Structure 1
Amino acid sequence: MSTSIASTDLATEPVTGRLGRFGRWQVAATRWVNWVIVGVLVALTLVALLAPVIAPYDPVQPVGAPYLPVGSSGHLLGTDNIGRDLFSRVILGVRTSWLMALVVVAVGLLIGGVVGVVAGAFGGWVDAILMRITDMFLALPAAIVAIAVAAALGPGLRNTFLAITVVWWPYYARIIRGEIRALAARPHVEAARMAGAGRLRIMAKHLLPGVYPTALVTASLDIGAVVLTLASLSFLGLGQSAPAPELGADTSRGMNELLAHWWIPVMPGLAVMVLSLVANLAGDAVRTLMAGRR
């Protein structure tokens, strides 16, 4: 699920001086495009936060005739089988999926980060115990575990969050532990240790600052995967109960209308695709921008 930083990422700064005029323009254009993509990510987060204000209608109440097509007067994306406004439902579904994905990634990164930092910094039996626990979670098929946890706890937003978080944190623990171990072997950390710096001081001043770029890029690349996982669980009926607007559930419930009224399942499905695409493009942009700063 998680994606580590490739060691051969673009490093624009050192080579800029050796590029011609066209090459420098290309580097500048790439950097500008990456910042635009990150801006789209921020804008999407604002849209999710302001969704109740942006949505023109109550997403759970019928507000028009059933089966109004896309572009109907007052209903940008049409209406569903009972006359609910699809644009309002999609916007509120985007809010649920996007904000939940951010929370899952943040909590998974926090749990996995603490486990990885402690294991990497202390080593020895502490490292062995924490990594064996992590390996136990990694050995389980993540999708099946998430489905099993969500099914056991019952449908609902909180239970879906718990189901995904349970299988997400071990990847961060492994990645961050590897980064900590690599940093701990560097000369400046050895010098600090020989100078008498305590373990907590070394961790705070020399290890954590070197880990955050990897953690940030890995988390940004994971948001799209979490969106797809949330949509999948919702599609299987393990998300919020009807009539709450949720992209995966709305796609699933509208599949029977696909041939006659295609917009009912297609519009929430397209929203999932757009969220995942923006998240993955933003993750690549963050990776490139972070590599360019090194």
Structure 2
Amino acid sequence: MAETANAPLTGPAIRPRWRVTQLRRAGSRTHRGAVLDWFLIGLLVLMTLVALAAPLLAPDDPIQPVGMMKLPPGSEGHLLGTDSIGRDALSRILLGLRTSWLLSIVVTATGLVIGTIVGLVAGMFGGWVDTLLMRLTDIFLALPSMLVAVAVAAALGNGLFNTFLAVSVVWWPYYARIIRGEIRALVARPHVEAARMAGVGWLRIMRKHLLPGAVPTAIITASLDIGNVVLVLASLSFLGLGQPAPAPELGADTSREMAEILDAWWVPVIPGAVVMLLNLISNLAGDAVRNRLANRR
């Protein structure tokens, strides 16, 4: 008995401690991941607030020259310098960020609404309705979206609203396809079938059973998609299909100042870097939104 009592703890006796340690480490990693996710989501919200407050945050008039031409960053009170005609670069970037970021949110929301309606109707009713709507969606998906957006923007002419229409025309089919797949999976579930057998109307089934199940996927897709819309809008403005000069726009400012890249590199490079930053923040925040929604399920 004494030998048994004094025997070292080996084998199965120490496994519970090891498991507790592993669980604590896993919990610590989960906590750090949650903190990082909320930080990224907060960064997305902060970017939106900066875009909304851009006219108040801009130190100078973004249209009128306010100093010497091609001042480097930090010179004479200009944090990001001045452009080729003496306009404050920071003011133009803030107003350009406002246009690109807010317009990308509006385009994404519009595509999400249109795509959700099309996907919901197609997935809910099936049959010839599903076939007709999905073939229409396939036609739009088969077309090169960037070329279609360029063609529509060129046909409509320069302007913020025309740019919005040009991108919105090609953006909804992605959401329609995704939402349709989610709705078809939900319609096949027993509780939806039971509701139909009980005589519950389609509108009530849609509101109570289908939309709540499809909304998380739609939110995740939209949050990941904002950065892509920013790139498309910047590309259109880079090609001269955005707002007419001298309106501040990130892609257009990069395009207009490319001739100055050797003499004043910061003038075309910083707006392009801001576009990259917006895309990066959007993608990281989209991943964070996906993680948070996945953990809630």
Q: TM-score, normalised by structure 1?
A: 0.93
Structure 1 counterpart of 2:154 = 151
Aligned in 2, Cα 1:179/1:19: closer, same or farther, shift over 3 Å?
Answer: farther
| TM-fit CA distance, 1:121 | 0.7
Which contiguous aligned blocks of 4+ residues in structure 1 show a shift greater than 4 angstroms?
none
Amino acid at match of 1:95: R
Pairing 1:185–2:174 present: no
| TM-fit CA distance, 1:97 | 0.2
Aligned positions of 1:87-166 closer than 5 A: 87-166=90-169
| Partner deviation per Cα, 1:145-203 (whole Å, 9 max, x = no partner) | 01110111111111111110000001100100110000000111112112221211111
Supply the distance in 2 between the matched residues of 1:241 and 1:169 (Cα, whole angstroms): 26
Amino acid at match of 1:48: A
Supply the distance in 1 between the matched residues of 2:258 and 2:286 (Cα, whole angstroms): 31
Amino acid at match of 2:214: V
Amino acid at match of 1:132: R
Supply the distance in 1 between the matched residues of 2:117 and 2:49 (Cα, whole angstroms): 29
Residue number among 288, 292, 295 corresponding to 1:289 in the alignment: 292
Structure 1 counterpart of 2:209 = 206
| TM-fit CA distance, 1:122 | 1.1
Structure 2: runs of 5 or more not aligned: 1-19
Supply the distance in 2 between the matched residues of 1:22 and 1:256 (Cα, whole angstroms): 54
RMSD over aligned Cα atoms: 1.1
| Partner deviation per Cα, 1:244-290 (whole Å, 9 max, x = no partner) | 00000000111111111100001111110111111011101001111
Q: TM-score, normalised by structure 2?
A: 0.92
Structure 1 counterpart of 2:265 = 262
Amino acid at match of 2:247: A
Supply the distance in 1 between the matched residues of 2:29 and 2:177 (Cα, whole angstroms): 36
Secondary structure at the counterpart of residue 74 of structure 2: coil
| TM-fit CA distance, 1:105 | 0.2
| TM-fit CA distance, 1:73 | 2.8
Residue number among 249, 252, 256 corresponding to 2:252 in the alignment: 249
The percent of aligned pairs where both chains have the same amino acid is 68
Amino acid at match of 2:31: A
Supply the distance in 2 between the matched residues of 1:18 and 1:95 (Cα, whole angstroms): 48
Where relative contact order (Cα < 8 A, 6+ residues apart) is larger, the structure is 1
Structure 1: runs of 5 or more not aligned: 1-16
